[in-house]
């Protein structure tokens, strides 16, 4: 199995203009990954599949990850003039990292029996219609898995032959695997609302019309 | 529309034909169909009796297993993995434990590794025997073969109950080992069952292999080419029936599988018959592995004492671990952010991905064949829908 650096260099040579980046994985599993750019993702994927020494013909796993916006607080020493004297003061600075959605593919080779090579695609932001190129034309096994990513994360895969919801029903509107997903405040499925749920239900539904006296009839 | 009356009629006499000629009839098979092995639906467009289009519809059992996994502790997901593929809880446990062990770099003691192999192969016996029974039942052999298969399955489930307290939801493995050691007398019982298994297999094989109806129903039905199987990510017996030699036990050599001698059976045609026979042959290989593992089972601890399985916090990182489950490659992908619950918890379900080519395999066959083809893929809806 060739190293990831070598794969990156060869892919960049084979696909002109491709910009790849190695994302290192700090854990003991040591599975670093390759970040593809959108414009050349399909060409690089074809190269990975067809290259005679790599032959990554088997896309085992395709999945999405939602990374939220995050601010990292850092303590930095800054020199400042305090009462005419220059002093070193500790200050906390906040650095903002915008969130993004990610699609991850785990590639193996059935011909050469090696792997995995992990490939990533990232959206620029977490918008409702975040777009990524589909890799289904290269690996058929991504067909249902990309549909699942679309269903649960809301990434639209361009070039996918049949992008529909797969696990949730078609009328469902939100994307439940996103980290900021909130369950709809909808208690119509609670047959006998009580306590907190009754209070919430009251805010959401108009009061029921009074019954026509039938409730007063007792046995 | 013919509005002019007789003249055109004289020129072109009407054919004896149906109103629906040339049109496809769309029907919905399932989700309560007895042969769909659960709540699974297929939208089928039929030309007479021949399938021209088929779209699988599922998700009826969806409970967002992955979201629940992300909201609970690492250990909390372990019993829940039992419910993925409820026929093979032991292999589900192992796949999850293996991925977590990869994520945190945990060593597993020798005895636990042997126990895992024994239990995984017993699970393969359970899965493959019940599949053979179900598949024959789909073909119309109602009752008898299924009961024969379930009789054997029941014996193994009794073993699981004696070990873990539960027949199907075993929740047996832990990160860095197993939950409990074998109860006294378990190994003798297991040996008796494994020794008696070939008798059932011989009988069952005689029952099915030369059966004319079975051959007519399965040979040349639902053919899958090796190229499509590889591209579509088909794994397990379905892939090997198409002649692709790929078994994760051999390729990755996870656990202690490299120590055992076993062969990987391969098919030629990639039809339903090959997929069926693949299970029979794999059962025999599993019995071989079981004999070797039972003979070599060492004494010793069954749990790595350094692992705090309760307040488990793996280091930041990610890992993808996979095993050869009875239905195919079962993988878990985990991202840790250093806290007590995974940031991302993903199951790579073999039956879900094996369904990708259901339409390709069914096109041109009759409705009755669809059930047999679906049965030969071997799906469990708890895993497909998650």
**Token pair in block for residue B52:** 């021209």
CA distances from B75 to B81, B98, B176, B310 (A): 10, 13, 12, 7
What ipTM goes with this model?
0.85
pLDDT of residue B81: 92
**Token pair in block for residue B102:** 């990869």
B310-339 as b/e: b if 16+ CB within 10 A:
eebebeebbbbbbbbbbbbbbbbbbbbeee
Across the interface, whether the CB atoms of A58 and B348 are under 8 A apart is answered no
pLDDT in tens, A131-174: 899 999 999 999 999 999 999 998 999 988 888 888 888 777 78
- Which stretches of chain B sit within 8 Å of chain A by CB? 58-59, 62, 64, 66-67, 102-105, 228, 230-235, 244, 246, 251, 314-320, 322, 329, 331, 333, 335-336, 343-344, 346, 348, 352-353, 355-357, 385-386
Q: How many C-beta atoms surround the C-beta of residue A174 within 10 A?
A: 13
Residue positions counted in chain A: 219
Give alpha helix (H) positions in A51-141. none
Across the interface, whether the CB atoms of B316 and A140 are under 8 A apart is answered no
pLDDT of residue A203: 67
pLDDT of residue B146: 87
Which residue has tokens 């906040």? A94
Give alpha helix (H) positions in A54-154. 142-153
- Select from A29, A61, A167 the Cβ nearest to the Cβ of B103: A29
DSSP class of B258: G
Across the interface, whether the CB atoms of A29 and B344 are under 8 A apart is answered no
Long-range contacts formed by A91-94: CB under 8 A, 24+ apart:
none
Angle B272-296/B186-209 helices, nearest 10 degrees? 160
Across the interface, whether the CB atoms of A27 and B66 are under 8 A apart is answered no
Region B274-288: what's the mean pLDDT? Answer: 91
Q: How many C-beta atoms surround the C-beta of residue B39 within 10 A?
A: 16
Q: Are A2 and A54 in contact (CB under 8 A)?
A: yes
* Global confidence as pTM: 0.85
Region B217-228: what's the mean pLDDT? Answer: 88
pLDDT of residue B4: 44
pLDDT of residue A86: 80
Q: What angle do CA A99, A132, A57 make, to 5 degrees?
A: 120
pLDDT in tens, B102-117: 998 898 999 999 999 9
- Select from B230, B315, B335 the Cβ nearest to the Cβ of A58: B230
How near does any CA of chain A get to the CA of B330, in Å? 10
- Reported as a pLDDT band with limits 50, 70 and 90, residue B21 is low
pLDDT of residue A182: 76
- Select from B62, B244, B319 the Cβ nearest to the Cβ of A29: B319
CA distances from B283 to A156, A167, B240, B244, B356 (A): 43, 33, 14, 18, 26
pLDDT in tens, B341-373: 999 999 999 999 999 998 888 888 888 888 889
How near does any CA of chain B get to the CA of A151, in Å? 11
Point out the residues of chain A with pLDDT beneath 50: none
pLDDT of residue B2: 46
pLDDT in tens, B317-344: 899 999 999 999 999 999 998 888 999 9
Residue B1 has pLDDT above 50, yes or no: no
Q: Are B375 and B354 in contact (CB under 8 A)?
A: no
Q: From CA A125, how far away is CA A146, in angstroms rounded?
A: 18
């Amino acid at each position: 199995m060739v190293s990831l650096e070598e794969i990156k260099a060869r892919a960049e040579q084979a696909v002109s203009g491709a910009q790849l980046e190695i994302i290192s994985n700090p854990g003991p599993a040591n599975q670093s990954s390759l970040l593809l750019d959108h414009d050349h993702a399909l060409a690089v994927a074809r190269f990975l599949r067809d290259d005679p020494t790599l032959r990554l013909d088997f896309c085992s796993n395709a999945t999405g990850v939602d990374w939220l916006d995050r601010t990292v607080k850092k303590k930095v020493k800054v020199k400042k003039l305090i009462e005419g004297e220059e002093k070193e003061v500790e200050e906390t600075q906040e650095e903002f990292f915008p969130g993004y959605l990610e699609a991850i593919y785990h590639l193996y080779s059935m011909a050469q029996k090696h792997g995995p090579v992990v490939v990533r695609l990232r959206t620029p932001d977490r918008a409702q219609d975040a777009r990524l190129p589909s890799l289904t034309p290269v690996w058929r096994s991504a067909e249902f898995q990309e549909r699942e990513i679309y269903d649960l994360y809301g990434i639209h895969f361009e070039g996918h032959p049949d992008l529909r919801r797969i696990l949730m029903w078609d009328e469902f509107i939100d994307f439940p695997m996103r980290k900021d997903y909130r369950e709809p405040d909808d208690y119509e499925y609670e047959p006998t609302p009580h306590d907190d749920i009754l209070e919430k239900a009251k805010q959401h539904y108009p009061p029921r019309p009074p019954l026509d006296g039938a409730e007063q009839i007792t046995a | 529309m013919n509005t002019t009356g007789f003249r055109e009629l004289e020129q072109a006499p009407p054919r004896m034909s149906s109103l629906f000629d040339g049109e496809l009839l769309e029907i919905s098979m399932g989700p309560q169909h007895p042969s769909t092995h659960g709540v699974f639906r297929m939208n089928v467009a039929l030309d007479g009796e021949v399938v021209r289009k088929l779209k699988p519809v599922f998700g009826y059992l969806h409970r967002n297993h992955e979201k629940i996994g992300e909201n609970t502790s690492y250990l909390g997901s372990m019993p829940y993995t039992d419910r993925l593929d409820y026929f093979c809880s032991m292999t589900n446990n192992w796949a999850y434990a293996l991925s977590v062990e990869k994520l945190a770099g945990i060593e597993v003691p020798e005895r636990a590794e042997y126990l895992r192999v024994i239990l995984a192969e017993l699970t393969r016996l359970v899965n493959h025997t019940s599949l053979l029974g179900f598949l024959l039942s789909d073909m119309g052999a109602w009752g008898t073969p299924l009961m024969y298969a379930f009789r054997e399955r029941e014996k193994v489930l009794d073993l699981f109950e004696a070990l873990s307290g539960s027949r199907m939801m075993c929740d047996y493995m832990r990160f860095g080992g197993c939950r409990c050691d074998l109860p006294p007398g378990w190994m003798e019982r297991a040996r008796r069952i494994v020794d008696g298994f070939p008798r059932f297999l011989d009988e069952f094989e005689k029952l099915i292999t030369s059966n004319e109806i079975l051959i007519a129903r399965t040979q040349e039905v639902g053919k899958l080419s090796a190229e499509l199987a590889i591209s579509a990510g088909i794994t397990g017996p379905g892939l090997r029936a198409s002649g692709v030699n790929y078994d994760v036990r051999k390729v990755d050599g996870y656990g202690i599988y490299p120590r055992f001698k076993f062969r990987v059976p391969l098919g030629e045609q990639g039809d339903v018959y090959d997929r069926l026979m693949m299970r029979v042959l794999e059962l025999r290989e599993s019995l071989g592995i079981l004999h070797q593992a039972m003979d070599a089972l060492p004494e010793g601890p069954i749990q790595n004492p350094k692992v705090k399985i309760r307040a488990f916090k793996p280091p930041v990182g990610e890992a993808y671990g996979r095993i050869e489950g009875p239905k195919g490659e079962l993988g878990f992908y985990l991202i840790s952010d250093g806290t007590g619950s995974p940031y991302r918890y993903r199951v790579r379900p073999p039956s879900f991905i094996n369904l990708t080519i259901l339409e390709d395999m069914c096109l041109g066959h009759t409705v009755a064949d669809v059930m047999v083809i679906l049965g030969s893929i071997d799906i469990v809806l708890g895993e497909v829908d998650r």
